[in-house]
Structure 1
């Protein structure tokens, strides 16, 4: 049985990195012996679903965690190395010289943009172009050691396929955990006779939560029975957090924050909602080309989507006619679009039916075929 070593850039277990774990279990089903090497708060090995997870204690000294991850990987003598995110790509410079392993790089983000951009608590964006150029150069050097690239969005496929075989592997959710039939009687009773707008994720200014909250005052005047549910996540710890916490307290009759919800418990909330909202802002290139997980989780549960005007999200929503793309970040215009969806019963019915019809399209099981091709071609 061929062996696979999956190398993580950051903590796998708390919270569970769902992309890494979905892949690990799928690769195991394909007949491989799978082990994961991950940074952690202490060093130990545990087994989950017959997959060994080697946790390596994170060091405060620069480079030591990376060195220990590389050493642990070399000891495994794996036939295939599956490197997730940016730092493990750099490890391949050493690993390629010391092993005969096939190497797969899983690119989750546009790292030059992500690493070089900082957004402060007031939403101000600062980009270090020199750092971005350095990250791009390091990727070009390290990608030579890779056999196959997996990534999540078409612009990144276009960029990296000129260097290596590159496949798009979307971050669709597993159909057993996310589908429109996963109802919960308690949740159903809680939101009976309410119209539900839902947001899945942390309360962060960079993800447009300030814009959503500002629009809700207007929406509530027109649709008094509307409830806004914030599913999971925490309030961003910045200067803005006091303002957002006060708003949530002042509107606790119409805004429900669930607190942390495990991944396998999210779907009943989504399946009970009427509209899912995404307000990621075009602050930098990584955001502009991104396809957030919540988009596919909404769609897998048959939930119509209202989203900010980001190109890759827009393509999916317009192609499937399953939602609304906002043409403005003004709270008044956001509110107008939300009100129009809930007030126009025919429009709501048509969009909801189309969302229901495509729900099975966005399942991880479809992605497993791409993963199989990457491993066996």
Structure 2
């Protein structure tokens, strides 16, 4: 949204103020959106650095303003984040009062709270775009039968009330809409933006030959039990198979310690997405995306690793009984296993590492569909939606 006016023969361009409000260090999904919007809006990124170990760096154009708010807070413990959230909110509100944004792009429930608080108290015509990349556990609670489920229902009530006034709801999986948001958000506010990669970035990918068959996990290290299952499976096979793990996250330290003394594992650690992601995929033959299926969000999520593997023509190992697993099976781009069955995983690893023909079939099937999963075309959809607000 821009306004052009003439003054003394010169053109003066007024760009609407937009704040990107994050409860975490910017990830590739958010950075892609900033790139899409930065030529049309004056962007300020406000993000919460919670002091977590192994944090990854990021790159952003100098044309954007960046405000880091450092308040220590644990990951995965909502109750213990209440006081840190209050501290973060006070600082964020002070920035928002100075910026007076036309738009606030709020990523997740915590940031929707902050954005709604600012709008209701200080600037009622602020437009809020609410983005949800993962459905939190409280979204799946249907009834009240404990203190925990009572708290979950309270969060649902608060979220329903806040979403009445949002201008747009962005989801990374259409199944988040079906499962939860369709019950209380008007459909004309809903926008599905899959977390797909930039063609401009991934066109640099070149397939490499590996002497040792390599299974890769690239991204946030969270699902420790499933990663340990992979490590144990490869360890027991005693074959010519290597594991490559790149990224940080809440499970990074535990997996690093579990991998000590196992020379078939390479722990790469945190990485810079823009500079390193393509070279990381060049190190692997198969992408491992088996997550904890006891978590309902996992069953209906479509992670960015799916799309990144597809555009690199890399077969994927996913979990049965999930939307991701069904996508893999329907498109024949890899295999699916029970997320708790090590023996089944061992059987498939033996097959994949020993069958070039099967790998080639999966690679060709990825190649057939990859043109559908680049961000460039989707970025225009996002821009158009903002322009219509």
TM-score by length of 2: 0.79
Secondary structure of the 1:298 match is helix
Cα distance, 1:352 vs. partner? Answer: 1.3
1:39 aligns with 2:60: no
Tell me whether 1:49 sits opposite 2:67 in the alignment. Answer: no
1:163 maps to 2:185: yes
Q: What are the ranges of 5 or more consecutive residues in structure 2 without an aligned counterpart?
A: 3-14, 52-58, 73-82
| Corresponding residue number in structure 1 for 2:345 | 334
Partner of 1:19: 29
Q: Contact 2:18–2:105 at 8 Å: present in 1 too?
A: yes
What is the rounded CA distance, in whole Å, between the counterparts of 2:345 and 2:277 in structure 1?
A: 25
Deviations 1:165-206 (A, max 9, x none): 111111112223334x4249xxx5xx6422221111355454
Is residue 23 of structure 2 the alignment partner of residue 10 of structure 1? yes
Tell me what 1:178 maps to: 202
Moved more, 356-365 or 106-115: 106-115
Structure 1 residues 61 and 273: alpha-carbon distance in aligned structure 2, compared to 1, 3 A threshold: closer
SS of the residue corresponding to residue 260 of structure 2 reads helix
Per-residue CA deviations over 1:1-59 (Å, capped at 9, x if unaligned) read 342422423243xxx42222211110123x222222223489xxx98331111234538
1:77 aligns with 2:88: no
Q: Which residue of 2 aligns with 1:313?
A: 324
**Contact 2:138–2:153 (8 Å) recurs in 1:** no
Q: Is the 8 A contact 1:11 1:38 kept in 2?
A: yes
| Kept after mapping to 2: 8 A contact 1:322/1:352 | yes
- Whether 1:90 and 2:90 are equivalent positions in the alignment is no
The separation in 2 between residues aligned to 1:41 and 1:342, in whole angstroms, is 40
Deviation string 1:261-310 (CA, Å, 9 cap, x unpaired) is: 22121212313422111110112222222222222222222211011124
Q: Secondary structure at the match of 2:31?
A: helix
Separation in structure 2 between the aligned mates of residue 173 and residue 207 of structure 1, nearest angstrom: 27
Structure 1 distance, partners of 2:159, 2:256, is: 40
Report how many residues are paired: 347
| 200-209 or 334-343: bigger deviation | 200-209
Query: For each residue in 1:338-371, what CA deviation from the matched residue of structure 2 results, as whole angstroms up to 9, or x when unmatched?
Result: 2112223322211111123333332221321331
Q: Which residue is 2:244 aligned to?
A: 229
Query: Quick check: 1:104–1:147 contact (8 Å CA) kept in 2?
Result: yes
Runs (4+) off by over 6 Å:
none
Q: Could you tell me the TM-score, scaled by structure 1's length?
A: 0.81
Cα RMSD for the two superposed structures: 3.0
Distance 2:211 2:60 in 1: 45
